[in-house]
Amino acid sequence: YEKELRRLSSLDLIGQMAAGISHEIRNPMTTVRGFLQLLKMENKFIQYKRYLDLMIEELDRANAIITEFLSIGNTRTSELQMLDLNTIVHDIVPLIKIDAASQSQIIAVETGDIPQLLLNRNEIRQLLMNLYRNGFEAMNEGQVLTIKTYKEGNHVVLAVQDQGAGISPEVMEKLGTPFFTTKDNGTGLGLGVCYAIAARHNATIDIETGSEGTTFFIKFQAN
Ligand code: ADP
Ligand code: MG
């Protein structure tokens, strides 16, 4: 319990940091983008137009990533509405497919008959993206990531299941600790954000892991 408390308070901090960082990164990016646009209009740079377009495109992509991953906003202002979780899942699948296709990984969706829930759409999107990213990063080509929704007793469950190598007990112990990562280019923030989002939704996160893969179960209270 004590550990859980420590985890939560540092996650609050992460949320605020993430919002701050995304703002701080966006400002210089906007400046750079503006000057690139300006260069594009200069006749003497006409031969570089293709590169300038590419640079602007890449900036826009980075911006989109910030939007998806760091703009989790303020805990206090996040609004919850009665929404259909299945719709949120289906809406995000095309985005996930773009990621999956590039690595020859497969995504399966099995949405069940579930009641509406009090949700914040952006946060649930973010939670899903962080979980499927981890799943893809743990899997090889041709392996399948499955997203499921179903009702189980008083709960609605959102499950994200991968076929990766699983999580070792040593790593399990540290999951959710801010900045803990086993990846060369990891941030170690993804799961922390997931825990924070789940907490705001009064949901819990259970993990089942083994040599066959890992499943994250987000359990919401059904009304
Ligand atoms: P990051 O992905 O940037 O490393 P996360 O907070 O998302 O940060 O994850 C922390 C660590 O948890 C990862 O570095 C990885 O070791 C482990 N992990 C998370 N999800 C999975 C998964 N589905 N399969 C295997 N390991 C995982
Ligand atoms: Mg991650």
Ligand 1 atom closest to residue 133's alpha carbon, by position in its atom list: 2
What average pLDDT does range 104-130 have in this prediction? 92
Residue to mutate, 7, 179, 191, ligand 1, most ligand atoms under 8 Å from C-beta: 191
pLDDT classification of 119: cutoffs 50, 70, 90 = very high
Ligand 1 atom closest to residue 130's alpha carbon, by position in its atom list: 7
Top-ranked range on mean pLDDT: pick from 22-26, 52-56, 66-70, 178-182: 52-56
Q: How far does the centroid of ligand 1 lie from the alpha carbon of residue 134, in Å?
A: 5
pLDDT classification of 4: cutoffs 50, 70, 90 = low
What average pLDDT does range 197-213 have in this prediction? 95
Q: Where are the alpha helices (DSSP H) in the chain?
A: 2-41, 49-69, 85-101, 121-138, 169-174, 190-200
Tally of CB atoms within 10 A around 190: 20
Ligand 1 atom closest to residue 164's alpha carbon, by position in its atom list: 24
Residues paired with 107 in a beta bridge = 145
pTM of the entire predicted model: 0.77
What does the pLDDT look like over 134-148, one tens digit per residue? 999 999 989 999 999
Q: Is the separation of the CB atoms in 112 and 147 below 8 Å? A: no
pLDDT greater than 50 at residue 76: no
Q: DSSP secondary-structure letter at 177?
A: S
User: Distance between terminal CA atoms of the chain?
Assistant: 26
Q: How far does the centroid of ligand 1 lie from the alpha carbon of residue 181, in Å?
A: 6
pLDDT greater than 50 at residue 75: no
**Pocket, ligand 1, Cβ cutoff 6 A:** 130, 134-135, 138, 162, 164, 167, 171, 175, 180-183, 186-192, 214
Ligand 1 atom closest to residue 191's alpha carbon, by position in its atom list: 6
Instruction: Give the three-class secondary structure for 31.
Output: helix
Residues paired with 186 in a beta bridge = none
What average pLDDT does range 47-66 have in this prediction? 86
CA atoms within 13 A on the CB side of 51: 5
pLDDT greater than 70 at residue 126: yes
Residue to mutate, 136, 144, 181, ligand 1, most ligand atoms under 8 Å from C-beta: 181
Task: Work out whether strand 204-210 and strand 155-161 pair parallel, antiparallel, or are unpaired.
Answer: unpaired
pLDDT greater than 80 at residue 1: no
Q: Which amino acid, residue 41?
A: M
For tokens 């609605």, what's the residue? Answer: 156
Distance CA 58, CA 123 (A): 24
Q: How far does the centroid of ligand 1 lie from the alpha carbon of residue 91, in Å?
A: 24
Q: Which of 31, 25, 117, 21 is nearest to 73 (CA)?
A: 21
Q: How far does the centroid of ligand 2 lie from the alpha carbon of residue 99, in Å?
A: 14
Structure tokens at 214: 């890992």
